[in-house]
Chains A and B, each alone.
Chain A
Amino acid sequence: MKLSFDPSLRRPLVMIAAGVAAALALLPVLGSGFAVTFGFQFLIWIVLALSWSLFSGNTGYASFGHGVFFGIGTYVAAAVFRSTEAPFVVALLAAGLVAGLLALVLGVAVFSSPRFAGDLFGLVTLAMAFIVMTIVSNTSFLDGGTGVFVREHTDGTWIGASTRHLFVVGALLAGLAAITAAVTSVTRWGAALRSIRDDESVAESLGVPTYRYKVVAFAVSGAIAGLAGAPQAVFLGYVEVGAVFALHIPLFVIMMAILGGMSRWWGPVVGAAVVVALREALLGLGSAEVAQIIVGVSLVVVIAVMPHGLSGVAVKVRKPQLAKEEAR
């Protein structure tokens, strides 16, 4: 893949750099309490939504297993903290690496057969979630069914010292995910992925090696989600299977990407902001269940009335003609 610099990339990259810088500059203002915690979680959701969209949004292969890569990242980081004295960077890289490898292996297997498209791909990724859950909860090295206390191992390290440090890591990861998304939107590699979504056999007939692109994109998407798992492990302090692999995580991620729309690379960011804000407001009402119900129902409504998501609506307002042609 040739990565010659595309002038249309300049604006997104400047925007992303400014966004990350603004987040970091905001840090002293946020203090160290609720605002930083909230900001960190928001950043992690952005990473997850962007990384999901990188593969699923572009190729149209909707994965229901994105929470697994995030969860594996969390557990790998926890295992590194527990069994070694290695610094956080090692845990971070290990989390990304293992999650990426898992996605790579799964991708190599799943994409080798054209049967696994559409809903069957969704189910296979969901099945993987259950398998990984079973394995993790039965492997004493990772969990063994008791959960892992991460906090006692990270106390006294740089990363465990303050939520603000987690926020910094989250901002950098969000920046990384955003750069990947923006680059994908204008490069040859992104065009290949989108041609797979449009019509895979046509893409092949035009010379696109679809198998290779799917495998690599899935692995990159999984790796980025895995990276996000490392700070999450520190943030949680105590990791256990039920919470880490909860099914509402992939649902929320899909919701963010769909709500934000996948026709623009920044769509998932908008979606993440809306869902996180919505959820926070609803949690204020006092019940996690009500929050879950409303988020789920709004996903159904969004799919029914806004198939192109918020970014699609924004495009419609700005460039009515283009949007009309896009909507066909």
Chain B
Amino acid sequence: MTVSTLALTQTLLNGVFVGCLFGVIALGLSLKWGHLGVADFSHLSLTLIGGYLTYTLVTELLWSPFLTLAVTVPVFFVVGVALQWFLHVIKAEAFTSLLITFALFIVAESVVSMIWSPDLLSLRPWLTDDLTQSMKVGSISVAPIDVVALVVAFLLVGSAAAMLRYTRWGRGVQAMRQDPGVAETFGVRLLPISLVVSGLVGASAAAAGMVVALKMPLSPGLPLNWIGIVVVASLLGGLGRPVGALVAAVALLMIQNAWSLWFPPQWSPAVTFGLLFLFLALSPVVQLVRDRLSSGAAREALV
């Protein structure tokens, strides 16, 4: 089968845009997993709920989709803080946290389907033309929503990376990841930092949720389809690395989209996980090579 250059370009570009959306979701998972040690499945549910809240605010109160952020961002910040505080209070270990967030993930699916019905809900009919009408750049078409996704991704990933790198707090988070004990002796206060990180991640779910609502019809089971890409992107990008998560998500989606041009698309989820297993199988080799070359900062725990 031959595929025209145009079709390939368009497909890859669509991969970039969808990848940006997943990159934002993966950003949240990656930050919490890498820095707080919580592989938070419920982050995906929170994103979906963000989408539904956007839907309700737009359709019931006729707000602009962007205005909804004024409500969802603070609310989700509080939710993020509350979840982390709960995990702190019960002294949850990595596995316990995973189990709790997994339970919340399942609970959220039922809650959403009770509140908003199990049917597909689409925000599209409610949007103004300037959000839905595709623009033509040469023979390539770009939807304004995709530009929104791109901007949100760059803003969030960029500010997360900058905060980690250049602020005192961010360096505190980095120190916490490398050695909590040492970080604490140097005056990094673990609890407030982890609460704030979790809160900010929650807030990012609000923004991601808005993009989800703009981009696709909502249904309660949606996060199930995201788990694969989001988890794999977090791992491939390196846990706790914002830019890595975004790049990995974009690359994954481009590969998946290109795959579906030549091969049966129903196999594409397997591609994601195939890449994950390839990565996990190869990473000890990479580690070994890195060891031999004596560069980089690998951790003993991974050897």
Chain A interface residues (CB < 8 Å from chain B): 60, 62, 64, 109, 113, 115-116, 118-119, 122-124, 126-127, 130-131, 134-135, 137-138, 145, 247-248, 251, 254-255, 258, 287, 289-290, 292-293, 296-297, 299-300, 303-304
Contacts and interface: CB of A to CB of B under 8 A. Distances in A.
B100 interface: yes
A303 B90 contact: yes
Contacts of B100: 299-300, 303
A296 B104 contact: yes
A52 B33 CA distance: 25
Contacts of B94: 118-119
A62 B227 contact: no
Contacts, number: 96
Interface in B110-154: 110-111, 113-114
B66 interface: no
The 8 closest A-B pairs by CB, nearest first: A296-B107, A289-B110, A292-B110, A304-B90, A296-B103, A299-B103, A134-B270, A119-B98
B283 A115 contact: yes
B267 A134 contact: yes
B273 A296 contact: no
Given A113-B280, A119-B98, A303-B100, A297 B266 contact: no
Contacts of B97: 119
Nearest to A289: B110
Interface of B: 33, 39, 86, 90, 92, 94-100, 102-104, 106-107, 109-111, 113-114, 224, 227-228, 231-232, 264, 266-267, 269-270, 273-274, 276-277, 280-281, 283-284, 302
Contacts of B92: 303
B95 A130 contact: no
Contact of A300 (B98, B104, B228, B283): B104
Contacts of A297: 103, 107
B264 to A, nearest CB: 7
Given A119-B95, A293-B107, A64 B102 contact: yes
A138 B266 contact: yes
Given A123-B231, A130-B228, A290-B114, A251 B103 contact: yes
Contacts of A258: 99
Given A115-B283, A289-B113, A303-B99, A247 B106 contact: yes
Nearest to A291: B110
B184 to A, nearest CB: 22
Contacts of B264: 138
Contacts of A118: 94-95
Contacts of A113: 280, 284
A300 B113 CA distance: 20
Contacts of A122: 39, 95, 98
Nearest to B93: A118
B174 to A, nearest CB: 20
Nearest to A60: B95
A300 B284 contact: no
Contacts of B39: 119, 122-123
Q: Which of A64, A119, A124: most chain B Cβ within 10 A?
A: A119
B96 A303 contact: yes
Nearest to A294: B107
Given A122-B39, A135-B270, 13 more contacts: A109-B281, A113-B280, A118-B95, A124-B280, A127-B232, A131-B273, A131-B274, A137-B266, A292-B107, A293-B114, A296-B106, A299-B99, A299-B103
Contacts of A287: 114
A165 to B, nearest CB: 33
A115 B46 CA distance: 29
6 contacts: A119-B33, A127-B232, A131-B270, A135-B270, A254-B99, A303-B92
Contacts of A115: 280, 283-284, 302
A127 B99 contact: no
Contacts of A145: 266
B102 A251 contact: yes
A119 B102 CA distance: 11
Interface centre among B231, B264, B273, B283 (most CB of A within 10 A): B273
B280 A138 contact: no
